[in-house]
Structure 1
Amino acid sequence: MDYTKALTPGIQAVPESSIKEFFDIINEMPEAISLGLGEPDFVTPEHIRKVGAASLLEGHTKYTQNPGLPELREDIAAYLRDRFSLEYDPADEVLVTVGGSEAIDLAIRCLVGAGDEIIVPTPTFVCYGPLATVCGGAVKEITAREENGFRITAEQVRAALTPRTKLLVLPYPSNPTGAILERTDLEAIAEALKDTNVIVLCDEIYGELTYGQDHVSFASVPGMRERTLVVGGFSKAFAMTGWRMGYLCGPRELVSHASALHGYGIMSAPTVTQHAAIEAMEHGMADIAQMREEYNVRRRLLAQGLRDMGLRCSEPRGAFYCFPYIGDFGLSDMEFCHRLLQEEQVAIIPGSAFGVGGAGYARVCYAADREKIEEALRRMKRFLVRLREQKE
């Protein structure tokens, strides 16, 4: 049977993630130190786990309303109001999803069709382009450059706009660079968009993990709420990756369509997870603060360690990644990371896995305990000494 005739052109155009290929290798090396996986090393706080377990034991095993439990939607709306000055009606402007990933998928499927263009920064998380491609959209990448702190500019956005532009993705704080956008950056981008019908998709999954200053949401810029969809979730801030709990917020005229699609495809997010998320929202802010404080210590440890071995490393201001430049050794970033893994059993992710803008860099995650980070730095330093000797 010729399966190419069964599969859509869009799905055939989607390549397998090179991150997945790399983790397939890592999984065969149990002794390796992994600074690659973008996942908190903390377990979900105990009080949240207990509420989830109690939900099961109390028999809460049926569907909820399609958009999620009313109490959870109210909690999410209150959190966004108090934390980021965003106003959403929990009745029809907050949708509970199966992780932030489903929220992103819903937004793109609702907004992008054949021939539409989507503007995406590079380097960035890997999902936006492929999801748009499946829908028949065309991806236009704009490079976030190291000399600008890996922040895209309003001038770049303006230059990328065409009559076919449907969506701009703002994935900040950034995976993989650790960059954030400041209010002045957002206001300038807002000015570039003001006479367009472009919708902005803000992936703010790392919004609680910033260091030195609070995250600013694009939707809080005057006049931008009406054109912005905000994606958030519980995976990174509350260490709840396996629970799969996220949300999509925005104007009801957009969220209503995402909610309908969610109802057909998912029915509702898992009930037990929603109960755990309520506990996280209502009693988990101190947990975030404790984890953020520890991440900040590790951030400084890793960034300084990379610089001490002679690598150029921009200051990461959000998420839990450093993004050093590794292009001075006559190796591609993929070759560098493969050799580091094989020779020193340290796993980091090639920057090119996050788009053309990441070529020559590597993502190094500090969601690992300090002992592992220190040992990984020792091994990396040893590896770089050999590379420099071989280059001479």
Structure 2
Amino acid sequence: MPDFRNLPSKLPTAKTSIFSVMSQLARKHNAIDLSQGFPNFDTDPKLKELVFNAMKEGYNQYPPMNGVPELREQISDKIEALYGVRYKVDSEITLTAGATGALYDAITAFVNKGDEVIVFKPAYDSYEPTIKSNGGKPVLVQMKGKDFKIDWQEVKEKINNRTKMLIINTPHNPSGTVFTKEDMQQLEALLKGTDIILLSDEVYEHIIFDAIEHQSASRFPGLAERAIVCSSFGKTFHNTGWKMGYCVAPEELMKEIWKIHELTAFCVNHPMQKAFAEYLKNPENYLNLGSFYQEKRDKFLKLLQGSKFTGIPAKGTYYQVLNYAEITTEKDTEFAERLTIEHHLASIPVSVFNFEQKDNKQLRFCFAKTDETLEKAAEILHKF
């Protein structure tokens, strides 16, 4: 038998994702799962019917590598209507295996050994391992304060001739904060005159509250010319298990992304692409999403009134960060585990996303759940 125990690892310090850890713990202890970011209600029956119809009509073989033309056309129309820029249907849009697939393709296409990539912490946990597996170095910038603001002067000081890429995420997971127009303008000014690539993770673009407007990188000419923008149908249409996402980028960048995409996924689910192409023709299917989730957020926060959990209302995403400092001095990882095992409610400890795992006594709760689930969760939290 060969001995593989001492084989060198490309990711020697990588651990099991916190999402997997907490979801497994939730299942083991029959806990209400507000940890991993997925809705516990069904996707639109009309959309499922469109998928079934596409299967019956024979769209069951390989689609074009970058996606079916009619879906790329709808994506281009949507972006133009919302953000005022039109991407070329044939050369600047690619359907991917979820937004994570788009992020992987983009980082792998451009990051080489020794390249530096600026990442804002707390950060979604796929960025850094992908950078490292390609020989790059994540350069970490911690977001500041209870409202997770960015110190752009600190970012400026981190940029040097080794900086290949900068990654942003708005609306932001896990904090629920949203980049402002001023943030994007400062970033635009900062990158002007450089060859730095911007990777903009915008999977929650339609889940935004309180009449705030999403500031896509596509809106800003100085960003759009260097930006790879990633989005997700799964987050938007309550079907994360379908793993359907896409990215848009200038043609010269997309040519390199295709080289990786063709070797990894090559293409993604054909009948689902046909279904989304039809479903996107009605903008109400995504434009009403913010108000739908704002009701969920407001209900969850109202249910928590009078408890010892505190937090600034999320401005976007379907996550609410809550502070528990008035309850216990336990580490957030320990408290999250105890909350799951003893009280049967699963959440995500925010420290795992922070620079040097800084513990601010915060847990992230997903409120993309039925009202009944949110009510049961709030009842548990009131016990503390």
Which of the five TM-score ranges fits, normalised by the shorter chain?
over 0.9
What is the distance in 2 between the residues matched to 1:81 and 1:290?
A: 18
What amino acid does structure 2 have at the position aligned with 1:52?
V
The answer for the alignment partner of 1:259 in structure 2 is 258
- Provide runs of 4+ in structure 1 moved above 6 Å: none
Residue segments in structure 2 that go unaligned for 5+ positions in a row: none
Alignment of 1:271-290 (within 5 A): 271-283=270-282, 285-290=283-288
The answer for the alignment partner of 1:20 in structure 2 is 20
Deviation at 1:4, TM superposition (A): 5.1
Corresponding position: 1:246 with 2:257: no
What is the TM-score normalised by the length of structure 2?
0.94
Deviation at 1:52, TM superposition (A): 0.4
The answer for the alignment partner of 2:32 in structure 1 is 33
Distance 1:76 1:331, change over 3 A: same
What amino acid does structure 2 have at the position aligned with 1:105?
Y
What amino acid does structure 1 have at the position aligned with 2:199?
L
Alignment of 1:86-165 (within 5 A): 86-147=85-146, 149-165=147-163
The superposition leaves residues 265-320 of structure 1 with CA deviations (integer Å, 9 ceiling, x where unpaired) of 2221111121122122113x323345432311121122344463133302210001
Deviation at 1:209, TM superposition (A): 0.4
Deviation at 1:89, TM superposition (A): 0.4
Asked whether the 8 Å contact 1:157–1:189 carries over to 2, the reply is no
Deviation at 1:6, TM superposition (A): 4.2
The superposition leaves residues 329-355 of structure 1 with CA deviations (integer Å, 9 ceiling, x where unpaired) of 110001111111122111111112323
What is the distance in 2 between the residues matched to 1:269 and 1:146?
A: 40
What is the distance in 2 between the residues matched to 1:236 and 1:339?
A: 29
SS class of match (1:23): helix
The superposition leaves residues 158-197 of structure 1 with CA deviations (integer Å, 9 ceiling, x where unpaired) of 1221221111111110111110001111101111121322
Identity of aligned residues (%): 27
Asked whether the 8 Å contact 2:51–2:274 carries over to 1, the reply is yes
The answer for the alignment partner of 2:323 in structure 1 is 325
Asked whether the 8 Å contact 2:91–2:251 carries over to 1, the reply is yes
The answer for the alignment partner of 1:187 in structure 2 is 185
- Say which is worse superposed, 196-205 or 366-375, in terms of deviation: 366-375
The superposition leaves residues 342-389 of structure 1 with CA deviations (integer Å, 9 ceiling, x where unpaired) of 22111111112323366221101110112221221121121x2xxxxx
Corresponding position: 1:295 with 2:293: yes
What is the TM-score normalised by the length of structure 1?
0.92
Larger helix proportion of the pair: 1
RMSD: 1.8
What is the distance in 1 between the residues matched to 2:5 and 2:275?
A: 43
What is the distance in 2 between the residues matched to 1:270 and 1:29?
A: 34
Query: Alignment length, in residue pairs?
Result: 379
What is the distance in 2 between the residues matched to 1:59 and 1:97?
A: 21
